[in-house]
Structure 1
Amino acid sequence: MRVGLGREGTVTHPTLELQVDLKSTCNDGSVRIGEAAARLGVATHVLRHWEDERVVIPLRSSSGHRDYAEEHLQRLRIVKSCQRLGLSLPEIRQILHRDEPGRVAVIDRRVGEIRRLRAELDMAERFLGHVRECRHDFITRCTECSAYAGTRGEIGSDA
């Protein structure tokens, strides 16, 4: 808003200058929550939730708007990647900082789960490869097919 003197010393009325595109981008290169969410392909409420969970806490402008710098955006990308790996927000919060207690245990636990899943998928692939070539009329008559089903089909089975 500008207030000034007009011609002949008269006071001019305040005027506003409209600046466009300030909603999403800030002068320092950071972006507001809507733009950050759009770049990540998530809803704004997701970023608010991640902030509530203290996973990624953006800066605040003087007017209280959330400002996401490039470092915040990179952290948000890492959070999405960690979620794809099956990590929960508390686990992600734990592994984001190198000195966080229990960090290594969380990582080791997830790596173990990934290895278990990989072994299970390898076994499933071998089973389906055999089923495709199986010469039995019914796969229930095949000892190899039945062996796979015996290790997978019971409630409470850890195999």
Structure 2
Amino acid sequence: MKSSEGSRSWSIGEVAERFGIATHVLRHWESVGLLHPSREGGSRRRYEKPDVYAVAMILRAKEAGFGLDDIREMFDTDDPVRRTAILGRHRNALAVRIAQAQASLALIDCGLDCDHDDIASCPHFHAAIEARIGALAPW
């Protein structure tokens, strides 16, 4: 369907299918103020390009660990200091998660490369596990 400006618009089902999410997720995001699709005839939602970009931004932010409240706050604020604070907080948390994932990947790679019959007897595997134990607070 075309909008009044002649640009393409999409139904809620088309947008949900495009992103691999359920339509109720889009409705929920609308109910919490993250999305504002236009209404066709007052009832059917129509998503235009800015709405589709908003869905992509929400999904990317969620993948980075943002909650819906922080996403809404970033969308709503015109204050760059406030937005920078939100982004900084999440950047630090994401950096920690990335480091943990990299350490986990290294442990898996160690296990895959191990020639020992029992991985628990592998010195390289022990070193990777001891590195994790060392990351804990002192006993």
TM value normalised by structure 1: 0.63
Shift of the 125–58 alpha-carbon distance from structure 1 to 2, 3 Å rule, reads closer
CA contact (8 A) 1:31 1:67 kept: yes
Q: 1:47: Cα distance to partner?
A: 0.8
Aligned to 2:94: 114
CA RMSD of aligned residues (A): 3.3
Q: Which has the larger radius of gyration?
A: 1
Q: Is the 8 A contact 2:15 2:47 kept in 1?
A: yes
Instruction: State yes or no: 1:148 paired with 2:131.
Output: yes
Aligned residues: 131
Structure 1 spans left out of the alignment, 5+ residues:
1-24
Residues in 1 aligned to 2:61 and 2:2: alpha-carbon distance in whole angstroms = 28
Matching residue's letter, 2:71: I
Gaps of 5+ in 2: none
TM-score scaled by length of structure 2 = 0.70
Match of 2:85 in 1: 105
Say if 2:65 and 2:94, in contact at 8 Å, map to a contact too.
no
1:61–1:67: 8 Å Cα contact kept in structure 2?
A: yes
Partner of 1:3: none
Q: 1:5-154 residue pairs with structure 2 within 5 A?
A: 25-28=1-4, 29-97=8-76, 99=78, 102-126=82-106, 132=113, 139=120, 144-145=127-128, 147-151=130-134
Asked whether the equivalents of residues 34 and 44 of structure 1 are also in contact (C-alpha less than 8 Å), the reply is yes
> Quick one: structure 1 residues 92 and 138, their matched pair in 2 at CA, closer, same or farther if it must change by over 3 Å?
closer
- Counting aligned pairs with the same residue, the percent is 23
**Cα contact 1:60–1:67 (8 A) shared by 2:** yes
